[in-house]
Every structure is written in C-alpha cells, then in structure tokens.
Amino acid sequence: MASAHLPEGIEELNPIALEDLARRAEQGPVVMLNLLDFKRPGGAERYTEYAEAVGPLLDRVGGRVLYAGEAAAPVIGPSKWDLVLLVEYPTRRAFLDMVGSPEYQRFAHLRSEALERSELHPLDPVTTSGVG
C-alpha cells in the first residue's frame, strides 16, 4: 500500500479522515470536493501553476476534473469560495498515490502558496432514495 503521507504545507490535515481514506484505499471511484479561496494578490495565478503541474499526475493515476466553477455569493451559508472543483479518482489509493508521490511533493507548495483557505472532502455516492 502506498504511504498516506502528504507533503507538509497542505493546509491542516484531519488525521482521522486521512486514516479513513487510507483504510478505504481500494474503494472507488471517489469524487473529491475542493473548496478554494485564493490569496490576494496572485493566488489565482499561483493556483493555475499548480493545476498545470498536477495535470499529468492526475492523468497518470486515472483521475479527471468533473467540474470547475467560479463560486458566486452563497444563497445559504456564511462562506463564499473563489473556486469549486469536483475531481474524480478511480480509487482512494489513486488519490493517495498521487499526493504522496515525490513528483507531487516537488510542487505541492504552489497549492499552499495560492490558497488563503481550502477544504477537501471525499464524497461517497448515495442512491436517490438516500437524498432528502
């Protein structure tokens, strides 16, 4: 199994959630919800550098961006995010392998340098009967 080690500087990690992600490494697919708030000035540009660097690694592990959207003011909730991304990975292991790789660690600082705050949520699918 690949190490669940993530590079330093990737915001504050939730060790319990990270352990769960590693324990369920073979499960998938998993969609990662990324909520991103850029530093000003220059955070959006720095994040673009990060996205360009991560693209080949994402392809290599079989991941893909499902959706990227600029967030508007919230209708419900206190926080406005600058960008929302949905990124699908074939398994949780694919995500862990990518972010644990030496290649990723060489440019992970770009993400931290770009962001004022962020949240990253692994999402599990539910049936329509499980909604509402």
Contact 62, 94 (CB under 8 A): yes
Which residue type occupies 47? Y
pLDDT on residue 131: 64
In this prediction the pTM is 0.86
pLDDT surpassing 80 at residue 120: yes
Class of 28-72+80-122 in CATH: alpha beta
For tokens 């319990």, name the residue: 16
**Domain ranges across the chain:** 28-72+80-122
SS3 of 123, please?
strand
Average pLDDT on 66-89 reads 95
